[in-house]
Chains A and B, each alone.
Chain A
Amino acid sequence: MAEDALIGTRIRERRQIVGLRQAELARRVGISASYLNLIEHNRRGIGGKLLINIAGVLEVDVPALRQGAEAELLATLSEVAERIAVPSEDASRVQEFAGRFPAWADALARTHRRAVQLERQVETLNDRLSHDPELAASVHEVLSTAASIRSTAAILASDGEIDSHWRERFHRNIDADSLRLSDSSKALVRFLDPETKAPDLLAAPQEEVEAFLAAHSYRFEPLEDGSGTPEEMIAGSFLLISDAARDRVRGLLAEVARDIARVPGAALEAAIGTCGAAPIALAAALDVDVPTVLRRLAARPETKLGLVLTDTTHGMTVARAGLAQIRRRALTGTALAMICRAQGAPGQVVTGCLSEGGGGSGPLYAMACAAPAPVAAPDQPPERHVSLLIRADVPF
């Protein structure tokens, strides 16, 4: 079944949840009830403005009714099924479940994501309590000072005679130790204060970003057809939990939107039809730089493509993993060397072979090129973003 095949089912379920009659929904979006009936039974496709209007009336985000959201949802539900060992006959019906009960599926996926986030936080906290040198030093300082004060105070409070010289020394020691205890206690409180430490406890944002990109295979339909915005996609995502991940994806989707504006899907396909899929020739034909072409090629619905994006702030991001095989094999020393060479010479196109293949899999080839990032502030050196496209079997 196609990923988008149950969009009508989801519209019907959502309409029933909000308590709207079919005829009323049809009237409000300007189509006949019989046509809506066909859509709701998945016998007519739907997209563009009509989908936006229906989503608006049903008070639901477009991505929640579309393929992209469904892909994320299905990936998350499959994760749930695997984790709690749902019997395989039920696990294989995950798409049907998501289609028939979208609200429950959504709730389950969000609850699962939250549970994963909390588990990671607990893990991080545990790790911190066990191994954090700052915490260990703070605790050690508090306990050592407390031991010193306790021992010295007990000597002073004992009945035995104490020489005045010793008595004065112990008083000075207690005074100094109480000051240390005060400082070390404050340091401990600062360390444990969730307000000051919360950002450190979040799960690795890079993992969230790459999970989001993998769920979409670096193809963002709502941006391609203009039915959604980056903000809507971010807001509708289960996979983006931390602010850092959302910020990173915001930047990446802004770049995708710029790329689409420069090279719309139809223009890309037309150019490929005329001069083939060689990136340098395409860049000339479309009058854009090579990195833009590499990213646009990666957004085509092909399977044997990988895309890696790098910048100095975020390092390396696997934007399109393609085959799992590519993801595992592509990021070798050769890929890193190509990225470095490209970064050192913006505009220069660097090609190479990442893997000769073998063991039943073919070789992997890559092309990398850097371009300056959009200017953020005056009088600053330009940041260079490298795009590296990977494909199997055919050299660039």
Chain B
Amino acid sequence: MGKHVLLVEDEANITEAIRFLLSREGWEVDTHTDGATAVDKVRERVPDLVVLDYMLPGKSGLDILRELRAEPDYARLPILMLTARGQKRDREEAERAGVSRFMTKPFSNLEVMTAVRDLVELAR
């Protein structure tokens, strides 16, 4: 059975493209668009990796990241953050909050897939 990914992203077409790419490689993909309930979604079923958008309705990706890292169960959960905010201070803030990888939009499919594979491999 493939690994399980939770994709938290409110841009429907980006979600569709990433879901297609991951599914094609055998990943099981859950998608979620609401920042406010994203942490609950993780708790419901802990994925092997979270792909998390930075700007989400309800709660920012940064706040979700902080909440997850505050819980010991998710301290080592691989989290790939996607963002249109490519400024240095945004990256530094995400790194301080414990992001596993920070990727700015627009990204290439190869970059996303490589990062997903690497992060899950490292977490083993």
Q: Is A173 an interface residue (CB 8 A)?
A: yes
- Which chain B residues border A169 with CB–CB below 8 Å? 16
Interface residues on B, range: 20 to 34
CB distance B108 to A176 under 8 Å? no
Contact A143 B106 (CB under 8 A): yes
Q: Mark the stretch among A4-12, A89-97, A147-155, A318-326 that contacts chain B.
A: A147-155
Q: Are B14 and A155 in contact (CB under 8 A)?
A: no
Contact of A173 among B13, B21, B108 (CB under 8 A): B13
Q: Which of B75-107 contact A (CB under 8 A)?
A: 82, 84-86, 104-107
Indicate whether A361 reaches chain B with its CB closer than 8 angstroms. no
Binary CB contact string for chain B from 1 to 40 against chain A (1 if under 8 A, 0 otherwise): 0000000000101101110110010000000000000000
| B120 at the A interface (CB under 8 A) | no
Which of chain A's residues have a CB closer than 8 A to the CB of B107? 147, 150-151
Q: Which residue of A lies closest to B53 (CB)?
A: A144
Instruction: Please tell me if B55 contacts chain A, counting CB pairs below 8 Å.
Output: yes
CA distance A155 to B19 in the complex (A): 12
- Interchain nearest-CB distance for B82 vs A (Å): 8
Q: Are A144 and B17 in contact (CB under 8 A)?
A: no
A residues near B106, Cβ cutoff 8 Å: 143, 146-147, 149-151
B83 to chain A, nearest CB (A): 9
Q: Which of B24, B84, B109 contacts A139, CB < 8 Å?
A: B84
Find the residue from A136, A146, A150 having the highest chain B CB count within 10 A. A150
Q: Chain B contacts of A146 at CB under 8 A?
A: 105-106
For residue A170, which residues in chain B have a CB less than 8 angstroms away from its CB? Answer: 16-17, 20
User: What is the distance, in angstroms, from B92's C-beta to the closest C-beta of chain A?
Assistant: 15
A140–B55 touching, CB < 8 Å: yes
Q: Is the CB of B13 within 8 A of A154?
A: no
Contact partner, A144, options B16, B21, B84, Cβ 8 Å? B84
Q: Does A72 contact B (CB under 8 A)?
A: no
Residues of B within 8 Å of A136, CB to CB, are 85
CB distance from A131 to the nearest CB of B (A): 12
| Inter-subunit contact A152/B13 (CB<8 Å) | yes
> B107: nearest residue on chain A (CB-CB)?
A147
Residue numbers in A under 8 Å from B84 (CB-CB): 139-140, 143-144, 147
The interface size bin for chain A is 20 to 34
Q: Are A152 and B17 in contact (CB under 8 A)?
A: yes
Q: Is the CB of A173 within 8 A of B55?
A: no
A136 to B85, CA, bound (A): 9
The one of B13, B20, B21, B85 that contacts A176, using a Cβ cutoff of 8 Å: B13
Per the bound structure, the CA–CA distance linking A136 and B90 in Å amounts to 13
* Selected contact of B14 from candidates A139, A148, A154, CB within 8 Å: A148
Type the 1/0 row for A272-289, where 1 means its CB is closer than 8 Å to any CB of B.
000000000000000000
Contact A155 B105 (CB under 8 A): no
With A140-B84, A140-B85, A144-B105 given, is the CB distance from A160 to B24 under 8 Å? yes
Interface residue? A70 (CB, 8 A): no
A177 interface residue, CB < 8 Å from B? yes
- Taking a contact as CB atoms under 8 Å apart, the answer to whether B108 and A154 are in contact is yes
Residues of A within 8 A of B14 (CB): 144, 147-148, 151
- Closest Cβ–Cβ distance, residue A176 to chain B (whole Å): 7
Q: Which of A139, A148, A160, A166 contacts B13 (CB 8 A)?
A: A148
Interface members, chain A 153-207 (any B CB < 8 Å):
154-155, 160, 166, 169-170, 173, 176-177
Looking at A144, A147, A154, A170, the one whose CB has the most chain B CB atoms below 10 A away is A147
Choose among A146, A149, A151, A176 the residue with the greatest number of B CB atoms under 10 Å from its CB.
Answer: A151
* A151 x B11 contact (CB < 8 A): no
Nearest chain A residue, comparing its CB with the CB of B9:
A144
Bound CA span A155–B55, Å: 25
Beyond A147-B106, A170-B20, 12 extra complex contacts between A and B, CB < 8 Å = A136-B85, A140-B84, A140-B85, A143-B84, A143-B104, A144-B84, A147-B14, A148-B11, A151-B14, A173-B16, A173-B17, A176-B13
**5 shortest interchain CB distances as A-B pairs:** A143-B84, A147-B105, A147-B106, A151-B17, A148-B13
Write the residues of chain B forming the contact surface with A, with a CB cutoff of 8 angstroms. Answer: 11, 13-14, 16-18, 20-21, 24, 55, 82, 84-86, 104-109, 112
